[in-house]
């Protein structure tokens, strides 16, 4: 190497070192020379792993003592700022440098476990040191002054959670959102006591307290090359905080793995590509009259572009690629109980569903419209939202409370964790419509595109309830065919056989098409009717053996489908988002579970016709016949008028 170049390289190296770097010194008291050597080596290894910022901030020299702690305690940081590790495990490591880890611990070897312990305790010291960057420090000071003068209620948004900071990281509002201690609604910013991001955790201790969460996550951030793939949002947070990433960080497979909760999905295990999301919409199902639906339902819609398309407005019509994030109670019982809903018995889980399924369910089955309102999120925020949503999908199992932890509250919490800006932190709403209003007030949601209903429908921003379609089409049919019934409901109340003669009189495609839609409405109504009847019979009559067996099968199916909303149940290995090392042939494993569900569903299907009454069966068959007849008629009329054939 050229002399001058070498000098430059050395200068660079020196410049990279922090001015007063931390030194980890073993306290030699009670150690023999082999133990001292091993200890020194261990401390050097850890020293290499630490972020430069942390090394600058902590005291110049830290003495690490080895003391006789109870066997189950690996180490602790004392109130005076010393770190003590368990001497017993140092002895074990000296005796066998390759020692495997203790049962119940997660790191791969005893050496790693001791490194992790030291990192964990250093993290506590760092967290207690209040090492805030200057800008943050002056913000906090300003906020405290404001609180003294104008009180809590008048504090500006960016002061929320900043007036009483005591830790470098573990009381940062954004960290708490990511970690799983979100704000409760209507509690003036107070955070939940329990952390429900409980599945696929590397170490259950992380949920004990935010300080432990920080310490455990720093262990994995520094020691596990796959941490950023498993906990992308937390990794990004720590990288940003330290302005640094661990040199060992591996590049992650493209796309975030998730389970498609739609059973007829082509690939049960799919990947969400955040860079392909054009927009995020607030998806609001209008209220209905049912007890549980009277407030409407809040969801988020990810406008995912088709693979070949650049993100842009054209993606709005790539409907088959869009996904819906929907928090719902998981109800395993055969009957929904209002009491259980109020008292938090049902789990609250995040379902990732194809948009198509959601549109079908609301607009066709429940006859409720869906409004899709674009949210003003930047690409980086959209990426964070996707990361946090998929993280919740694999880790979250909360409690559903009709009032205080319902879909609107859950959706707000997810939005908050995605956009650390202050705007969402002071926002507080417990109802879907209230949340939309609050988002509008802060210019985060723009409903102007929905002002023109027809336009919004064409653009895929409004999905109309089919109830409105039925009424409009019935009016057209009534005029064309001189139907005696005044109201659509009366038309539907007739039996399919009574409607049939009129169907044959339809003069043109227009009328036949309208009749087809109305007959589909008849089919849905008939199914709804059978559904209610079966329910009443099942609940009211415990002696009907066939019904009881079917009910049991149904309960089994529901129970087995639990993994769709709690995919962590599929694989015991690893933590965070699943990586290839966690399961052998993931598609196969998921496919097996899907196949089993389908098989159970098939069995149920075979049993069901026997449960219908003769009259129910006849009516169902007659409607199907009508539908078939209308479809044939459409084809004939199309042919007669020389209609266009798609090539």
Among residues 60, 498, 584, 598, which is the contact residue for other proteins, using CB under 8 A?
A: 598
Backbone angles phi, psi at 446, to 5 degrees: -125, 110
Site string for other proteins, 509-548 (x = CB under 8 A): xxx-xxxxx--x--xx--xx-xxx-xx--xx---------
Among residues 99, 292, 449, 483, which is the contact residue for other proteins, using CB under 8 A?
A: 292
Residue closer to other proteins, measured from CB, 423 or 513: 513
Minimum distance of other proteins from residue 501's CB (angstroms): 20
Task: Tell me the C-alpha distance between 235 and 240, whole Å.
Answer: 8
Minimum distance of other proteins from residue 339's CB (angstroms): 13
Q: Cβ distance 84 to 76 under 8 Å?
A: yes
Instruction: Count residues near other proteins (CB under 8 A).
Output: 106
Stretch that binds other proteins, among 172-180, 204-212, 376-384, 508-516 (CB under 8 A): 508-516
Residues paired with 280 in a beta bridge: 302
Task: Tell me the C-alpha distance between 94 and 38, whole Å.
Answer: 7
Site string for other proteins, 416-455 (x = CB under 8 A): --------------------------------------x-
Task: Tell me the C-alpha distance between 582 and 568, whole Å.
Answer: 11
Minimum distance of other proteins from residue 455's CB (angstroms): 10
By the rule CB under 8 A, 7 interacts with other proteins:
no
- Helix/strand number for the chain, H first, E second: 23, 13
Task: Tell me the C-alpha distance between 574 and 125, whole Å.
Answer: 28
189, 193, 198, 202 alpha-carbon torsion, rounded to 10°: 100
Task: Tell me the C-alpha distance between 527 and 107, whole Å.
Answer: 54
Taking CB under 8 A as the criterion, which residues in 373-402 touch other proteins? 400
Task: Tell me the C-alpha distance between 349 and 336, whole Å.
Answer: 16
Stretch that binds other proteins, among 8-16, 239-247, 440-448, 463-471 (CB under 8 A): 463-471
Residue closer to other proteins, measured from CB, 322 or 384: 322
Taking CB under 8 A as the criterion, which residues in 548-587 touch other proteins? 550-551, 554, 557-558, 561-562, 564-565
Minimum distance of other proteins from residue 462's CB (angstroms): 8
Taking CB under 8 A as the criterion, which residues in 612-641 touch other proteins? 612, 624, 627-628, 631-632, 634-635, 638-639
Strand, helix or coil for residue 632: helix
Among residues 165, 200, 276, 297, which is the contact residue for other proteins, using CB under 8 A?
A: 297
Residue closer to other proteins, measured from CB, 247 or 307: 307
Please tell me what DSSP assigns to residue 317: G
Site string for other proteins, 472-491 (x = CB under 8 A): xx--x---------------
Residue closer to other proteins, measured from CB, 211 or 319: 319
Q: Cβ distance 516 to 630 under 8 Å?
A: yes
Q: Cβ distance 214 to 171 under 8 Å?
A: no
Residue closer to other proteins, measured from CB, 106 or 372: 372
Q: Cβ distance 600 to 552 under 8 Å?
A: no
Minimum distance of other proteins from residue 193's CB (angstroms): 24
Task: Tell me the C-alpha distance between 509 and 627, whole Å.
Answer: 14
Among residues 6, 137, 248, 458, which is the contact residue for other proteins, using CB under 8 A?
A: 458
Among residues 124, 349, 425, 593, which is the contact residue for other proteins, using CB under 8 A?
A: 349
Alpha helices per DSSP H over 406-508: 407-418, 432-441, 453-458, 466-481, 488-493, 496-503
Q: Degrees (nearest 5) of the Cα angle 489, 490, 495?
A: 105
Taking CB under 8 A as the criterion, which residues in 310-339 touch other proteins? 317-320, 328-332, 334-336
Size of the chain, expressed as the number of residues it contains: 647
Q: Degrees (nearest 5) of the Cα angle 380, 385, 386?
A: 100
Taking CB under 8 A as the criterion, which residues in 229-288 touch other proteins? 261-264, 285, 288
């Amino acid at each position: 190497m050229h002399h001058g170049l070498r000098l430059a390289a050395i200068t660079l190296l020196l410049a990279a070192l922090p001015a007063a770097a931390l030194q980890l010194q073993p306290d030699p008291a009670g150690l023999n020379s082999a133990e001292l050597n091993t200890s020194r080596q261990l401390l050097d290894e850890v020293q290499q792993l630490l972020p430069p910022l942390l090394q600058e901030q902590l005291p110049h020299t830290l003495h690490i003592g080895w003391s006789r702690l109870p066997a189950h305690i690996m180490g602790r940081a004392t109130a005076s700022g010393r770190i003590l590790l368990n001497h017993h495990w140092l002895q074990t490591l000296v005796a066998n440098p390759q020692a495997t880890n203790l049962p119940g611990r997660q790191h791969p070897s005893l050496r790693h476990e001791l490194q992790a312990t030291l990192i964990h305790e250093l993290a506590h010291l760092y967290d207690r040191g209040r090492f805030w960057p200057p800008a943050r420090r002056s913000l906090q000071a300003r906020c405290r002054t404001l609180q003294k003068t104008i009180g809590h209620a008048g504090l500006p948004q960016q002061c929320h959670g900043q007036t009483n900071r005591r830790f470098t990281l573990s009381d940062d509002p954004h960290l708490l959102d990511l970690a799983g201690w979100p704000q409760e609604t209507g509690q003036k910013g107070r955070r939940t006591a329990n952390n429900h991001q409980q599945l696929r955790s590397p170490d259950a201790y992380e949920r004990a307290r935010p300080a432990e969460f920080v310490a455990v996550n720093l262990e994995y951030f520094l020691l596990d090359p796959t941490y950023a793939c498993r906990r992308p949002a937390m990794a990004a947070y720590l990288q940003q905080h330290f302005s640094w990433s661990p040199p060992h960080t591996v590049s992650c497979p493209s796309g975030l793995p998730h389970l498609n909760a739609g059973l007829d999905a082509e690939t049960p295990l799919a990947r969400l590509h955040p860079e392909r999301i054009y927009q995020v919409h607030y998806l609001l199902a209008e209220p209905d009259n049912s007890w549980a639906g009277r407030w409407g339902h809040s969801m988020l819609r990810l406008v995912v572009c088709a693979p070949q398309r650049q993100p842009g407005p054209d993606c709005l019509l790539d409907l088959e690629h869009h996904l819906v994030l929907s928090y719902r109670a998981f109800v395993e019982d055969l009957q929904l109980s209002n009491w259980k809903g109020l008292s938090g018995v049902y789990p609250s889980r995040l379902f990732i569903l194809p948009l198509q399924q959601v549109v079908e369910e609301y607009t066709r089955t429940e006859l409720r419209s869906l409004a899709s309102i674009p949210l003003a999120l930047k690409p980086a925020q959209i990426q964070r939202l996707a990361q946090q949503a998929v993280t919740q999908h694999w880790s979250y199992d909360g409690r559903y409370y009709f009032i205080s932890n319902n879909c609107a509250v859950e959706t707000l919490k997810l939005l908050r964790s995605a956009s650390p800006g202050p705007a969402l932190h002071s926002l507080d709403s417990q109802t879907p419509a209230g949340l939309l209003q609050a988002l509008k007030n802060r210019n985060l949601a723009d409903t102007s595109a929905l002002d023109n209903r027809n336009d919004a429908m064409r653009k895929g921003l409004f999905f109309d309830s089919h109830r409105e379609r039925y009424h409009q089409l019935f009016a057209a049919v009534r005029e064309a065919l001189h139907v005696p019934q005044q109201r659509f409901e009366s038309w539907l109340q007739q039996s399919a056989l009574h409607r049939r003669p009129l169907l044959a009189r339809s003069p043109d495609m227009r009328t036949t098409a309208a009749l087809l839609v109305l007959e589909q409405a008849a089919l849905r109504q008939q199914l709804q009717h059978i559904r209610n009847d079966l329910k009443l019979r099942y609940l009211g009559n415990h002696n009907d053996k066939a019904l009881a067996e079917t009910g049991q099968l149904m309960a089994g199916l529901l129970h087995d489908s639990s993994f769709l909303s709690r995919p962590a149940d599929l694989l015991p290995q690893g933590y965070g988002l699943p990586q290839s090392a966690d399961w052998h042939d993931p598609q196969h494993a998921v496919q097996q579970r899907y196949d089993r569900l389908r098989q159970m569903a098939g069995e149920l299907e075979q049993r069901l016709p026997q449960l219908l009454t003769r009259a129910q069966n006849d009516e169902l068959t007659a409607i199907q016949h009508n539908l078939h007849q209308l479809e044939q008629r459409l084809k004939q009329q199309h042919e007669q008028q020389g209609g266009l054939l798609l090539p």
